Amino acid sequence: MIKLSYELPFELDLPVDNPWDGRRSVSLLIHAKAPPIGDAVVDELRSNLALFAALADAGGLSGTAAPPWKAAFKEPELTVNEGAVNIRFAPSELDEKATASLVCLLLVVHESAPLGWVTLSASGSKKERAQSNPKLSNPYPGLWPELPFRHAIVESESETRILRAQFAKTLDPDEVKAIEIDLRRWGGAAAAGAFAIAPYSPRDGGCLPVDAVEHYEGELIWPIEKCRFDHRAALTSLVSVCAAIHHRAARIIDVVVD
């Protein structure tokens, strides 16, 4: 079972093995600390779960568990009762540490309406109370070891990071559109706090992706501003998304994040 970097303000039970193994559906049961759960909170929860699903589907949470270009993640189904929300995810293959990003987005919801008890479960898995280690150095998914292009992440704590991707050819409008969709799916989740740094609030651990993606003769440049996330984790995820783009939209030769 993974450990989390956040000491949680609500009770959380997790499977002892990876629930995102691609073979089982996954359930998330959320009980409010003080029911009922209001419509505004359900809407925020639905929005954050959509961000998690979009990031996963773009390949940003595949980590070392599966090639990111094989990611296929659907938005979950929500059932709302008076004091609880039951969420069901279709079977999908993700890194076990993807749960850490999900927890960050739940912490954002908790700030709006305190959560009391949360359970993540998968068929056949024993559950235990989540363990936290504030000194954990690598709480988020890593990188698939066999990427189809050269890649580098420059070590920096600058608040502005720049993605530079060199494609094999000049991009046509349809390719640019497809690439922008996946980059913005990563950007939406990263901006919401999916790669936040404990013990700070995930609301303060996001970024501001620049809306326009520049491209010229096969080179794509995308600045990301106000980066207050876990740089290594968030930018590793971005490189994973680029690997999915390589297979889904246009072939990439080289990726550098500086």
Give 218 or 211, the one with higher predicted confidence: 218
> Is residue 252 predicted with pLDDT exceeding 90?
yes
Residue in 87, 140, 109, 133 with CA at minimum distance from that of residue 10: 109
* C-beta separation of 89 from 8 below 8 A: no
Question: Within the chain, which residue ranges are assigned CATH 3.30.70.600?
Answer: 3-132
| Six token digits for residue 3 | 């450990």
Q: For the residues 88-115, what does the mean pLDDT come to? A: 97
The domain made up of 3-132 has a fold known as Alpha-Beta Plaits (3.30.70)
The pLDDT tens digits for 23-75 are: 999 999 999 998 888 899 999 999 999 999 999 999 999 999 999 999 999 99
| Six token digits for residue 51 | 């961000």
- Average pLDDT score, the chain: 96
> Is residue 10 predicted with pLDDT exceeding 90?
yes
The pLDDT tens digits for 126-154 are: 999 999 999 898 999 999 999 999 999 99
> Is residue 19 predicted with pLDDT exceeding 90?
yes
Residue in 252, 234, 105, 112 with CA at minimum distance from that of residue 169: 252
| Six token digits for residue 108 | 């954002």
Concatenate the DSSP letters of all residues of 124-136 into one string: T--EEE-EE-TT-
> Is residue 82 predicted with pLDDT exceeding 90?
no
* C-beta separation of 15 from 121 below 8 A: yes
> Is residue 83 predicted with pLDDT exceeding 90?
no
β-strands 208-209, 161-167 pairing: unpaired
Residue in 168, 185, 166, 159 with CA at minimum distance from that of residue 57: 185
Q: What is the pTM of this model?
A: 0.96
Dihedral Cα 192, 3, 120, 6, nearest 10 deg: -40
Q: Does domain 150-257 match CATH 1.10.10? A: no
163 Cβ contact list (under 8 Å, min separation 6): 183, 220, 221, 222, 223, 224, 238, 242, 255, 256, 257
